[in-house]
Amino acid sequence: MNMIQALNSAMDILLTQNPDVVMFGEDSGYFGGVFNATDKLQAKHGAHRVFDTPINEAAIAAMAIGMAAKGLKPVAEIQFSDYIFPAFDQIVSEMSRIRYRSAGQFTSGCVLRSPWGGGIRGGQTHSMSPEAFFTHIPGVKVAIPSNPYDAKGMLIAAAEGNDPVIFFEPKRIYNGPFDGVPDAPLKSWAKHPKGEVPEGHYRVELGKAEVTREGSACTVVTYGTLVHVAEHAAEKSGIDAEIIDLKSLSPYDIDTIAASVNKTGRAIVAHEAPRTSGFGAELAAQIQEDCFYALEAPVLRLTGWDTPYPHAHEWAYFPIQSRFIRAMEAVTKAV
Amino acid sequence: MSNTNARFHVPTAPFRPGETPDFSNLDLQKAGDAPRPDPGIDAGETASLATGLVGVLDHNHQAVGEWDPKLKADLLREGLSHMVLTRIYDERMLKLQRQGKMSFYMKSTGEEAVAVAAAMALDKSDMVFPSYRQQGILFARGRNIVDMMCHCISNSRDNLKGRQLPVHYTWAEGNFFTISGNLGTQFPQAVGYAMACAYKGEDQVAASWIGDGTTAEGDFHSALTLASTYRAPVILNVVNNQWAISTYQGIAKGDAPTFAAKGLGYGLASLRVDGNDFLAVYAATRWARERATAGKGATLIELFTYRAAAHSTSDDPSKYRPKNEETAWPLGDPIERLKQHLIGIGEWDEDRHEKLEEEMTKLVVKSYKDAESYGTLHDGPLAPTESIFEDVTETPDWRLRRQRQELGI
Ligand SMILES: Cc1ncc(C[n+]2csc(CCOP(=O)(O)OP(=O)(O)O)c2C)c(N)n1
């Protein structure tokens, strides 16, 4: 399966197994979503369970909150993560705090899925990685899968949990992994081990990272599309980097990170989003705190620049494979 | 050609401090004049109701016209009693705030009918999504007053563990949704809740209340759009008390004829109702509820009223409006009007009213003593400090466990 098929399969299973699950979003119903993620689900499960919404992200989030308060399990879609900001107030001020401010009398467990990240010539408003805005909100979980297997298992786990989850889907790798070389031909998930996705129900629990490549020279902590770029950079350069796919950003798996950095003594934190106050800052600070005596070099941040996401110069902005190799060289040479 | 009105228009309140308020120009439809159509009618047919004024109690305090809900005297006395209690509670809490017993308070003086009559017209199982000024709902639904006070003084019995500012009540057992400080957010949430009721095939409806000022928020538009699109069984109340802190209602309303009229453009049944008329509020809420449970969708109700008290304990209205403007308000006082109505039909008298007030005052004073026995904000006991780390998510993760240790608990 590719990632879209895996997500579709997860949603099909959720709808089949739990009558309280409902799905909605802009173009998500009849049409099946602009990326086909909800393809055929309306026809199969009915218009009350999978439906189109007005173009109003605040309304989508608010509707999810209200429905969750009544015991439904909304799995809603925000068409692009770049357009999640109209819903920001509902997420920050409401969804994230309903359990807390009501001392557990009301909860708002729901999932907001949203295509995320760059690498598709999406320009400023179809490429953003806004995860750091959300990791700064106590009360919402943030998850970003990097492959079809995790996408399905994590989406099921997110929807079966009782907390609100912002679920970002790296759209660059919906159809195949990306090795971080802009002009390289498209690859398919068919040849990737994580493209093998069981048909049935399974969960990949949130909050757990995975070492996707073991190594000893340095640790790379990343998520989403860049997991693949990092892996290819390690192979290409021959630098024996250990790659950690974070998967969950809030909460994130400090134990897996610390164990790795304590072993390698060197760390790169990498994301597509701009550097300043990006999630990498949190990771770097926590690594510094937990692994100070093991560190042999400053923690390096490999990120998008502190600019809006550009169109024509996309590959000068995006942390491509060559930048990963340079960062790995820098961090392993530094004393 | 030059534009002699080159500058944009900034609406201003009709009367400012030092001026004498005169509402005689306010063209309000007389009680009894508005027709009461079948609740199942097309939304478009409510146009005259959205710009008129649904009223039952006339200037002689008699119930007139088609909207008279013809309630039994017992029910009217119950409504009166909830409203009196609401007002006495508010007075007492304001005093206690002034004495430093709580950090903040907001009264609902003059708006008691908007909350109490609506709550009584709803089913107890209907979920309410109020703003911070419908405490009357809690009294109408029988919430324990000691519990309400314990919340306001954030003590060890506060059911919100001291996490929220005073008056931000939550009471799941009473189907009273958690109040938010962020204006308007609950309006579209109520629609989602109502959709879920319909999804589950239940007869329950949802109702929400926001102020005139808050209608300017995007969430007002979101709620009306959702309610219209999905024909949700929801009642969307706009409490037009003429003021949003210091801002008069014309700033939010612009040149629209009424707030209720805004609902028409969304295809929603829309009513403007005399918010100081207990019977009218009750009747309109029943009508909207009937409409909702018949699958005809939402109703927007503008409750035309006046915020008689300061916005909050942090506000001084004498800086932006004439003193005692509320006494010039043509729709009077909701408690006085229901009281006079009951007296007029021989079901109440001044003595009984005085006794009721005494009884309620005693109840409130005694309740506060009880409440203080569970602690006060300043002297404690409060909820255990470690409880600040609970309920963020279902189970605290390592970050909260570490932070709790850092705080030494
Ligand atoms: C989103 C948001 N903006 C501003 C405020 C500050 N604020 C609190 S109450 C209020 C006025 C609300 O007026 P209105 O909606 O008319 O309700 P009323 O207080 O008259 O009942 C304002 C501006 C807030 N709480 N939330």
CA B317 to the chain's CA centroid: 20
Residue B175 is encoded by which pair of tokens? 């189907």
Among A171, A69, A72, smallest CA distance to A114 is for A171
Dihedral sign computed on CA atoms, order B343, B347, B351, B355: negative
Q: Which residue has the tokens 């005169």?
A: B22
- The per-type count for chain A, helices as H runs and strands as E runs, is 12, 12
Q: Is B320 a catalytic residue?
A: yes
A62: chain B residues, CB-CB within 8 Å: 185, 187-189, 191-192, 219, 222-223, 226
Interchain contact, B393 vs A99, CB within 8 Å: yes
Helices (H), B158-208: 186-199
Tell me the count of A-B CB pairs closer than 8 A.
138
Among A140, A147, A148, A123, smallest CA distance to A64 is for A140
pLDDT for B1 = 54
pLDDT, tens digit, 9 for 90 and up, residues A69-95: 999 999 999 999 999 999 999 999 999
A93/B contact by beta carbon, under 8 A:
yes
Question: What is the greatest pairwise CA distance in chain B?
Answer: 74
Kindly give the distance from the C-alpha atom of residue B165 to the centroid of ligand 1, in angstroms, as a whole number.
15
Site residues for ligand 1, CB cut-off 6 Å: B 133, 181-183, 210-214, 239, 241, 243-245, 307, 311
Residue B120 is encoded by which pair of tokens? 């009584």
A138/B contact by beta carbon, under 8 A:
yes
| Spatial separation of the C-alpha atoms in residues A58 and B184, rounded to whole Å | 11
Residue A44 is encoded by which pair of tokens? 């199969």
Min Cα separation B92/chain A (Å): 25
pLDDT for A334 = 75
Interchain contact, B222 vs A56, CB within 8 Å: yes
Tally of CB atoms within 10 A around B257 = 12
Min Cα separation B115/chain A (Å): 21
List A220's β-bridge partners, or say none. Answer: A243, A268
Q: Which residue has the tokens 């508005």?
A: B34
Domains of chain A as residue ranges with CATH: 3-195 (3.40.50.970), 210-333 (3.40.50.920)
Tally of CB atoms within 10 A around A59 = 27
| Spatial separation of the C-alpha atoms in residues B222 and B302, rounded to whole Å | 17
- DSSP class of residue A218 equals E
Strand pairing category for B206-211 and B127-129: parallel
Q: Which residue has the tokens 């959300």?
A: A134
Q: Is B248 a catalytic residue?
A: no
Per-residue pLDDT for chain B (409 aa), expressed as one digit of tens each? 556 667 999 999 999 999 999 999 898 999 999 999 999 999 999 999 999 999 999 999 999 999 999 999 999 999 999 999 999 999 999 999 999 999 999 999 999 999 999 999 999 999 999 999 999 999 999 999 999 999 999 999 999 999 999 999 999 999 999 999 999 999 999 999 999 999 999 999 999 999 999 999 999 999 999 999 999 999 999 999 999 999 999 999 999 999 999 999 999 999 999 999 999 999 999 999 999 999 999 999 999 999 999 999 999 999 999 999 999 999 999 999 999 999 999 999 999 999 999 999 999 999 999 999 999 999 999 999 999 999 999 999 999 999 999 999 9
Residue nearest to atom 4 of ligand 1 (CA): B183
Residue A216 is encoded by which pair of tokens? 């000893």
Search chain A and give the residue with CA nearest B221: A59
Search chain B and give the residue with CA nearest A64: B192
Beta-carbon contacts of A172 under 8 Å, excluding residues fewer than 6 positions away, are: A117, A118, A119, A120, A178, A225
B189: chain A residues, CB-CB within 8 Å: 62-63, 65-66, 69, 94
Min Cα separation B390/chain A (Å): 7
Interchain contact, B192 vs A66, CB within 8 Å: yes
Min Cα separation A288/chain B (Å): 15
| Spatial separation of the C-alpha atoms in residues A324 and A328, rounded to whole Å | 6
Q: Which residue has the tokens 């309140």?
A: B13
Residue A84 is encoded by which pair of tokens? 């999640």
Question: What is the best residue among B111, B236, B245 to mutate for testing ligand 1's pocket, by most ligand atoms within 8 Å of CB?
Answer: B245
Min Cα separation A84/chain B (Å): 15
Residue B117 is encoded by which pair of tokens? 């009559």
Q: Which residue has the tokens 């608990």?
A: B409
**B98, containing H or E segment:** helix B73-98
Residue B209 φ/ψ region, left for φ over 0, alpha for ψ in the -120 to 50 degree band, beta for the rest: beta
User: Which residue in the set A62, A94, A100 is minimally distant from B163, CB to CB?
Assistant: A100
Search chain A and give the residue with CA nearest B383: A103
CATH number, span B44-378: 3.40.50.970
Search chain A and give the residue with CA nearest B220: A59
How open is the CA angle B379-B382-B387, to the nearest 5 degrees?
150
List A116's β-bridge partners, or say none. Answer: A170
Please give the C-alpha separations between residue A119 and each of A173, A184, A316, in angstroms, as whole numbers. Answer: 9, 12, 11
| Spatial separation of the C-alpha atoms in residues B271 and B360, rounded to whole Å | 33
| Spatial separation of the C-alpha atoms in residues A113 and A124, rounded to whole Å | 20
Q: Percent of chain A, pLDDT > 70?
A: 100
Dihedral sign computed on CA atoms, order A304, A307, A310, A316: negative
Q: What is the DSSP string of B110-158?
A: T-HHHHHHHHHHS-TTSEEE--TT-HHHHHHTT--HHHHHHHHTT-TT-
The type of residue at B265 is G
From chain B residues 367-396, the ones with a CB under 8 A of any chain A CB are 390-394
A50 φ, ψ (degrees, to nearest 5): -135, 110
- Of the listed B143, B311, B321, B337, which one is catalytic? B311
| Spatial separation of the C-alpha atoms in residues A296 and B384, rounded to whole Å | 43
- Enumerate the CATH 3.40.50.970 domain ranges in chain B, comma separated: 44-378
Among A197, A199, A204, smallest CA distance to A161 is for A204
Question: What is the greatest pairwise CA distance in chain A?
Answer: 61
From chain B residues 105-144, the ones with a CB under 8 A of any chain A CB are 127
Beta-carbon contacts of A38 under 8 Å, excluding residues fewer than 6 positions away, are: A8, A11, A23, A25, A28, A29, A32, A50, A77
A47/B contact by beta carbon, under 8 A:
no
pLDDT for B144 = 98
pLDDT for B6 = 72
B240 CA closest ligand 1 atom index: 16
ipTM for the predicted complex:
0.97
CB burial readout B3-39, b (16+ within 10 A) else e = eeeeeeeeeebbbeeeeebeeeeeeebebbbbebeeb
Beta-carbon contacts of A260 under 8 Å, excluding residues fewer than 6 positions away, are: A211, A219, A221, A242, A244, A267
CB burial readout B80-91, b (16+ within 10 A) else e = bbbbbbbbbbbe
List B210's β-bridge partners, or say none. Answer: B238
Residue B360 is encoded by which pair of tokens? 């309620």
C-alpha torsion angle, residues A319, A325, A329, A331 (rounded to 10): 30
| Spatial separation of the C-alpha atoms in residues A138 and A250, rounded to whole Å | 9
Interchain contact, B394 vs A93, CB within 8 Å: no
Interchain contact, B159 vs A163, CB within 8 Å: no
B201/A contact by beta carbon, under 8 A:
no
B111 CA closest ligand 1 atom index: 21
Terminal Cα distance for chain B, rounded: 74
Tally of CB atoms within 10 A around B126 = 25
User: Which residue in the set B177, B390, B392 is minimally distant from A106, CB to CB?
Assistant: B177
Q: Do residues B239 and B211 make contact, with C-beta atoms less than 8 angstroms apart?
A: yes
| Spatial separation of the C-alpha atoms in residues A288 and B352, rounded to whole Å | 73
Count CA within 13 A, CB hemisphere, residue A306. 5
Residue A93 is encoded by which pair of tokens? 């001020």
Per-residue pLDDT for chain A (335 aa), expressed as one digit of tens each? 999 999 999 999 999 999 999 999 999 999 999 999 999 999 999 999 999 999 999 999 999 999 999 999 999 999 999 999 999 999 999 999 999 999 999 999 999 999 999 999 999 999 999 999 999 999 999 999 999 999 999 999 999 999 999 999 999 999 999 999 998 999 999 999 999 999 999 999 999 999 999 999 999 999 999 999 999 999 999 999 999 999 999 999 999 999 999 999 999 999 999 999 999 999 999 999 999 999 999 999 999 999 999 999 999 999 999 999 999 999 999 77
**A303, containing H or E segment:** strand A300-304
pLDDT for B21 = 96
Dihedral sign computed on CA atoms, order B100, B106, B110, B112: negative
Q: What is the CA radius of gyration of chain B?
A: 22
Search chain B and give the residue with CA nearest A286: B399
Among A15, A277, A27, smallest CA distance to A130 is for A277
